[in-house]
Amino acid sequence: MTTAAEGAELTRVGPGTPMGELMRQYWIPAALSSELKGDGAPLRLMLLGEKLLAFRDSAGRVGVMDHRCPHRCASLFLGRNEDGGLRCVYHGWKFDVSGNCIDMPSVPAQQDFKAKVKAKAYKAIERAGMVWVYMGAAAEAPPFPQFEAALLPQSELTVVFAQRSCNYLQALEGDIDTSHFGFLHGGHVDATELADDNLLRYTVQNRTPEYFVADSDWGTTYAAHRQAGDGRTYWRFANFLFPFWTQTPQGEFPHQVDIRGWVPMDDTHTMFVHLSWTGRKRAISTVKKDGSLLSGFGFGHRHRPNTTDWYGRWRLADDEANDWALDRAAQEANTSYSGIENVHMQDQAVTESMGPITDHGFEHLAPSDQMVARTRRRLLMAARALRDEGTLPPGIEHPEIFYGSRGGFFFTAPRNDWRELYAEQLSAAVRPAENKQAAE
Least confident residue range of 43-57, 104-118, 196-210: 196-210
Q: What is the rounded radius of gyration, in angstroms, for the C-alpha atoms of the chain?
A: 23
- The residues near 271 (Cβ < 8 Å, ≥ 6 apart) are 161, 162, 163, 164, 261, 262, 263, 265, 313, 314
**Structural domains in the chain?**
29-141 (2.102.10.10), 154-439 (no CATH)
Average pLDDT of the segment spanning 270-290: 88
| Residues 233-267 pLDDT 10s | 999 999 999 999 999 998 999 999 999 999 999 99
pLDDT band at 435 (very low <50, low <70, confident <90, very high): low
Render 88-125 in DSSP notation, one character per residue: -TTT--EE-TT-BEEE-TTS-GGG--GGG-B--EEEEE
Confidence of residue 112 (pLDDT cuts 50, 70, 90): very high
